[in-house]
Amino acid sequence: MGFSIHQMAIDAKKASLQVAKLSSKTKNRVLCTIAENLIAHTPKILEANHLDLEAAKHDDLPEAMIDRLLLTSERIYDISQAVKHIASLPDPVGLITKNNRLDNGLQVSKRRIPLGVIAMIYESRPNVTIDAAALCFKAGNAVVLRGGKEAIHSNKALAESIRQALVQFDIDEAAVSLVPDPDREIMNDLLTLSDDIDLLIPRGGENLIKHVTQHSRIPVIQHYKGVCHLYVDKMADQKKALDILQNGKVQRPGICNALETLLVDQEIADEFLPTVSSLLDSHNVKIHACERALPHFAHADLATDLDYDAEYLSLEIAVKVVDNYQSAVNHIQRFSSGHTDVIVSQDISTANQFIQDINSAVVMVNASSRFSDGGELRLGAEIGISTSKLHAYGPMGLESLTTEQFVVIGDGQIRH
Amino acid sequence: MGFSIHQMAIDAKKASLQVAKLSSKTKNRVLCTIAENLIAHTPKILEANHLDLEAAKHDDLPEAMIDRLLLTSERIYDISQAVKHIASLPDPVGLITKNNRLDNGLQVSKRRIPLGVIAMIYESRPNVTIDAAALCFKAGNAVVLRGGKEAIHSNKALAESIRQALVQFDIDEAAVSLVPDPDREIMNDLLTLSDDIDLLIPRGGENLIKHVTQHSRIPVIQHYKGVCHLYVDKMADQKKALDILQNGKVQRPGICNALETLLVDQEIADEFLPTVSSLLDSHNVKIHACERALPHFAHADLATDLDYDAEYLSLEIAVKVVDNYQSAVNHIQRFSSGHTDVIVSQDISTANQFIQDINSAVVMVNASSRFSDGGELRLGAEIGISTSKLHAYGPMGLESLTTEQFVVIGDGQIRH
């Protein structure tokens, strides 16, 4: 009688066949209706959000989490605008990516099709409910949303804006389903439903992602950590290096594309590190320096491997002097999380070598790691950043929510 | 002291950095050397194979398995030729697949890079040792090979041809490692090594693939079943349909792209099924027919859902009369394994609708399902066929053994 996550997945699978065949025009009209509903329902959404905030305060949740939970009229407006933006993006479904005519007359093409059913498992940010639903729907998929228990009232109110739009366009409501009960057992059951769910995307802290990865029978796209490196080569333009360091560490340290480690070639360390010291001091950045870098800083402690492995997500940085280019590459190959790594160098051979040597999702030359983002790289919008190499690597846009099928057209050909 | 699968994976990871940077020329020279070594080592390989065959006979293994185990001079020659063919294919590594210049002057491209370390888990066919190693190596990956215990002597002898070629070109031997002990516990340990292995490809029976999928912490590319359908539409050219039926069912029934179910539109059933009956009878194909089809066959039993779900891999077929196009699509959506499904129709609208409606890895119009193969579709060579939609869907060539990284080149840009 009670809620069945298995039935929800079966219904989503059925709905996915309908969503896969919707025209771009219909999908975009549904998305614009969702955007309008969000604005119209703002008072109700804020009321629901208020319940979540009260509960969070009652449970003494940390300030940062309460801020992530908080919705305001402005934030709802922004969410609604993001949905309109997704409506304006090109539809990946049906795109022919390859097309050949073989000797035997067969016409072989590859064609983008939706993945089917995508499950999102996320934590306290309620905006993910709308963002993820809009992106999955635009790419022709059904989606099962499982948000955190802290945001359950907000999520339900937001999902209602989607449900009403689906009903208005005669689309199976199961195309976007919110798991109504944030019980952990139900989530664990969800992880086993590989017959009906094609992809699982967890968004949240490392523990959530580890749990999902270890227990899932469904393919998972992982985003673990962003331990991003900046290597300042001996041939670097030091002014550019300093700008890129400041932008990467100071602008938004809490984001995964922020810098966590600075590597400096020993040939320029004596000249460059004093300027690094005054820059980081002026922004109150805590410094963990290697033995050779330590003397250049007034306030710093000695870095350990734990520092090189850390995703600080705050005004903290590890600084290391390296013997040469190869030492920098070795350090990055050992400690990088595969997210984004940057070289600053005016030497074109060194820059090209860096691109060959570093197999992270994003490798950058003379540019800020902060550009490592679906929006900045012009993917249109971002459903997540993959740090595992399968299916998608790096910032994931709409295309990553599709796959490619072979289409073979003949005129009676058989194989000999 | 003993063998450590964990150490083997760590060594493979280290070797993968070297393999990723090898030039196409070097990789191709290594492959040609492997091909030559196979010919030169033929007597030793046959000797080792003889040990496996003796053991198999002693253990009363089925004839079919013994045939899969068997190597002959001709088979070794064919394997060697296949390696030379892989050497002749274009190298996917380093290929720039997209390239844009953004408003802010950043040049953003996507570039193919190897996946890293690939583990192959397979059963009795020793040729997989060479095929898989050659494909993974050509795509710049290290590979860990875990073959079946029945073929262990053959696999060791084959792997020696690879090892000698690697040594000759000063390449870390760990680039291609054969697990020397086919113990099941070691295989289960292998499935947990997600820090060092990027992708796992199981090749073999459904039980092996289920076991690997359920226990792996590493992303798995699955190939379950090939339950391929042929739908003969009311507007079909019945001569073409009959040719495609014969080719799909009779030519090589043991291959996964063989046909397992024939769906016939009721409007043409009375005309078409008698010709089907004589064709299938003349090839001694066992028939499982639905109630409406049954009267057309002299020897047939009544089909059940088990028949519609079966991958016979032999001279057996399920035959069903469907009310109309939509009934055929419903049947395929319910029973297809997502491998390959075929429509025969002269009506262009129906054919196009079928392409939209069927989300299998390969959808075909007026052509034999037997073309659903990496070689026939001109992928050059095939490492497997994926029936799950993530990363690769359908026949997988060299490209499926790579991923794409973002390369961002700037001139000091920072984010505002």
User: What pLDDT digit, counting tens, does each position of B171-216 carry?
Assistant: 999 999 999 998 999 999 999 999 999 999 998 888 898 899 889 9
Q: How far is A201 from chain B (nearest CA, A)?
A: 12
Supply the pLDDT for residue A64.
83
Q: Using CB atoms, which residue from A355, A388, A403 is nearest to B407?
A: A355
Tell me the average pLDDT of chain B.
95
Supply the pLDDT for residue A214.
87
Query: pLDDT per residue over A124-165, tens digit each?
Result: 889 999 999 999 999 999 999 999 999 999 999 999 999 999
Supply the pLDDT for residue A320.
98
Other beta carbons within 10 Å of A379: 20
Q: What percent of chain A has pLDDT over 70?
A: 100
CA-nearest of A383, A361, A409, A134 to A257 is A361
Cα-based distances in Å from B121 to B144, B199, B203:
9, 11, 6
**For chain A, what are the domain ranges?**
5-222+394-408, 228-371
Claim: this prediction has a pTM higher than 0.80:
yes
Residue pair B236/B245 in contact by the 8 Å Cβ criterion: no
Q: Was domain B5-222+394-408 assigned CATH 3.40.50.300?
A: no
- Scanning B302-321 for CB atoms below 8 A from A yields none
Whether residues A367 and B410 touch (CB distance < 8 A) is answered with yes
Residue A331: list chain B partners with CB under 8 A: none
Give the CA-trace dihedral at A251, A252, A253, A259, to 10 degrees: -60
Whether residues A247 and B408 touch (CB distance < 8 A) is answered with no
Q: Nearest chain A Cα to B357, which residue?
A: A21
Pairing between β-strand A384-386 and β-strand A394-396 as defined by DSSP bridges: antiparallel
Give the orientation angle of helix B266-282 with respect to helix B238-250, to 10 degrees.
40
Supply the pLDDT for residue B261.
98
Distance CA A213, CA A386 (A): 13
Quick one: CATH architecture of A228-371? Answer: 3-Layer(aba) Sandwich (3.40)
Supply the pLDDT for residue B163.
98
Query: pLDDT per residue over A182-219, tens digit each?
Result: 899 999 999 999 999 999 999 888 889 889 988 998 99
Residues of chain A with confidence (pLDDT) below 50: none
Distance CA A107, CA A334 (A): 46
Whether residues A377 and B108 touch (CB distance < 8 A) is answered with yes
Residues of chain B with confidence (pLDDT) below 50: none
Supply the pLDDT for residue A1.
54
CA-nearest of B160, B150, B153 to B130 is B160
Supply the pLDDT for residue A240.
98
DSSP 8-state class, residue A202 = E
Q: Which residue has the tokens 């009956």?
A: B277
CA-nearest of A118, A134, A128 to A32 is A134
Q: Nearest chain B Cα to A411, which residue?
A: B366
Q: Nearest chain B Cα to A386, which residue?
A: B405
Supply the pLDDT for residue B37.
98
Distance CA B142, CA A2 (A): 50
Residue pair A364/A355 in contact by the 8 Å Cβ criterion: no
Whether residues B390 and A391 touch (CB distance < 8 A) is answered with yes
Distance CA B363, CA B31 (A): 34
Residue pair B286/B317 in contact by the 8 Å Cβ criterion: yes
Q: Using CB atoms, which residue from A217, A363, A403 is nearest to B389?
A: A403
Whether residues B219 and A217 touch (CB distance < 8 A) is answered with no
- The verdict on A108 touching B (C-beta cutoff 8 Å) is yes
Do B5-222+394-408 and B228-371 share a fold?
no
